[in-house]
Amino acid sequence: MSGTKGARGRRFEGGLDALAQRMNASVDFDRRLLDADVAGSRAHARGLARQGLLSADDAAAIDRGLGEVRDALAAGELAWDPALEDVHMNVEARLIERIGDAGRRLHTGRSRNDQVATDLRLWARAAGEALVARLGELRAALVHKAAAHVDTLMPGYTHLQRAQPVRAAHHFLAYQEMFERDQGRVRDALARADVSPLGSGALAGTTFPLAREGVAAELGFAAVSRNSLDAVGDRDFAIELVAACALCQVHLSRLAEELVLWCSQEAGFARLSDRWCSGSSLMPQKKNPDLAELVRGKTGRVVGAWVTLVTVVKGLPLAYNKDLQETQEPLYDAVETATASVEVMAGMVADLTLDTARLARAVGEGHLVATELADYLVSKGVAFRDAHDTAGHLVRIAIERGVELAALSLDELRAADPRFDADVHGWLDPATAVDRRDLPGAPARPRVVAELARLSAELGLAAPAAPAPSPALATPDGASDR
């Protein structure tokens, strides 16, 4: 091998066909591994020196040269050469140019197979930890928004039909739950990626007495791989991380969809800050929720990355196959897309303004307290199915009269069932209806306030000051509240 051009060496005559070279090269995307590659090579060189396989002078020259090459490539002072195929050969060739023969000794006991497997795990670990941090910021934004709307009621929906009143805080905290689980899934994937393949060689280890555990510890890995074939021949850690990203993106898409609906003129429940919207090239009155739509649209991209990964790996025999190069771009794109989407969503949630007056009017329309009539009769000893039937009959009467259930007189209620009494109208107050649902996981005010306190402590946020219960949850017409 010339040490400067690829990894073909004197086994081959001439160079690759130009078309083959373009397809074979990965440096346009695997340059993301620059920091990981240099960190892995530095740790490998120090490990070789500790085992007496590399002189102290050569190890020092390699360490210094790698730092210089990394800085020059990162700053654009050195150009990436696609003829060198990938980040690994670009770094090694430039190292040899700078320090000579010492650079040629760096690859002792190592293959590009275990090198790239190590670099990818280092990259996945760093990128995954960044995603975990961004998810923490999104969770915090949702908790802050929930704390501001403990006493804002809104319609809860099933089938996109108004169903029962809930607290807006409870709605925001539902998404917090989703993203908390997403955080856990990313952490789980990172735990299984936290294994060093370095020392596995091309597929069968090496004859050199490498101290694998010491190098792994220096790189921050929790363990070393137990099977060299598996270590270089699989990318399930990448598949698992991308699967976590895909599910996270699905949750982001659901929230984005609600923001689009809430900000429509038909719903009018909320407004997004101008920072997250765009206008129309034709219609000057338009304010389009473009960023929410883009987050929603990128879901197909991230899910597609997962499909690509599992499809690439599904038919591969052991151990390394060049097909595995095709796992890199979907990994990078999925993690980077999910991370950017989480950051954008956190900003949109933080800047979101709810129209509390519009929400209050919506809660008062559509017979959302019909279940309370059924529950009232159950409290009087009526079987639920019979009570449900009576409540449905009363809804039909209210619809025919064009009024809400609370507008029906006691005589009208008693005509449907004589067990209705004067206290039934208190059950039909939306705030009362929500607070009667006082059990773990439900939207009663004390439960929501307690959950906010728990989450604030978990996320290291300032404990939210629980607002005093408001006897009038609706604000005056036209008012809105952040």
Domains of the chain in start order, with CATH, are 9-108 (1.10.275.10), 113-153+165-354 (1.20.200.10), 370-428 (1.10.40.30)
Q: What is the pLDDT of residue 16?
A: 74
Q: Is the pLDDT of residue 258 over 90?
A: yes
Q: Is the pLDDT of residue 11 over 90?
A: no
Q: State mean pLDDT over 227-238.
A: 98
Contacts of 164 (CB under 8 A, 6+ apart): 155, 156, 368, 369, 371, 433
Q: What is the pLDDT of residue 479?
A: 44
Q: State mean pLDDT over 362-368.
A: 95
Count of Cβ atoms closer than 10 Å to residue 264 Cβ: 12
Buried b (16+ CB within 10 A) or exposed e, 430-458: bbebbbebeeeebbbbebbbebbeebbee
Q: Is the pLDDT of residue 1 over 50?
A: no
**What does the alpha-carbon distance between residue 130 and residue 143 come to, in Å, rounded to a whole number?**
20
Cβ atoms of 152 and 480 closer than 8 Å? no
Cβ atoms of 349 and 145 closer than 8 Å? yes
Contacts of 472 (CB under 8 A, 6+ apart): none
Q: What is the pLDDT of residue 284?
A: 75
**What does the alpha-carbon distance between residue 38 and residue 123 come to, in Å, rounded to a whole number?**
12
What are 109-135's pLDDT values in tens digits? 999 999 999 999 999 999 999 999 999
Out of 9-13, 24-28, 155-159, 264-268, least confident range: 9-13
What are 156-189's pLDDT values in tens digits? 999 999 999 999 999 999 999 999 999 999 999 9
What are 418-466's pLDDT values in tens digits? 999 999 999 999 999 999 999 999 999 999 999 999 999 999 998 766 5
C-alpha distances (whole Å) from 455 to each of 140, 446, 449, 481 are: 9, 14, 10, 23
Cβ atoms of 457 and 139 closer than 8 Å? no
First-residue to last-residue Cα distance in the chain: 65
**What does the alpha-carbon distance between residue 414 and residue 388 come to, in Å, rounded to a whole number?**
15
**What does the alpha-carbon distance between residue 132 and residue 53 come to, in Å, rounded to a whole number?**
39
Cβ atoms of 318 and 110 closer than 8 Å? no
Cβ atoms of 145 and 242 closer than 8 Å? no
Residue type, 333: D
Q: What is the pLDDT of residue 465?
A: 61
Q: Which residue has the higher pLDDT, 465 or 57?
A: 57
Q: How confident is the model at residue 481 (pLDDT cuts 50, 70, 90)?
A: low
Contacts of 277 (CB under 8 A, 6+ apart): 287, 288, 289, 290, 291
Cα-only R_g, the chain = 31
Q: What is the pLDDT of residue 476?
A: 37
As a whole number, the mean pLDDT across the chain is: 93
Residue 397: its H or E element: helix 384-401
Q: What is the pLDDT of residue 283?
A: 82
Q: What is the pLDDT of residue 116?
A: 97
Catalytic center residues: 159, 280
Q: What is the pLDDT of residue 107?
A: 97
Residue 313: its H or E element: helix 299-313
What are 189-218's pLDDT values in tens digits? 999 999 999 999 999 999 999 999 999 999
Contacts of 196 (CB under 8 A, 6+ apart): 118, 121, 212, 215, 216, 219, 221, 223, 224, 225
**What does the alpha-carbon distance between residue 335 and residue 242 come to, in Å, rounded to a whole number?**
7
Residue type, 448: V
Nearest residue to 364 (alpha-carbon basis) of 410, 424, 404: 404
Q: How confident is the model at residue 281 (pLDDT cuts 50, 70, 90)?
A: confident
Nearest residue to 32 (alpha-carbon basis) of 90, 102, 109: 90
Cβ atoms of 111 and 51 closer than 8 Å? no
Overall pTM > 0.75: yes
SS3 434: helix
Q: Is the pLDDT of residue 17 over 90?
A: no
Burial class for 203, CB neighbours closer than 10 Å (0-12, 13-18, 19+): middle
Sequential DSSP letters for 187-248: HHHHHHH-EE-TT-TTTT--SS---HHHHHHHTT-SEE-S-HHHHHH--HHHHHHHHHHHHH
Q: State mean pLDDT over 72-83.
A: 95
Q: What is the pLDDT of residue 2?
A: 36
SS3 272: coil
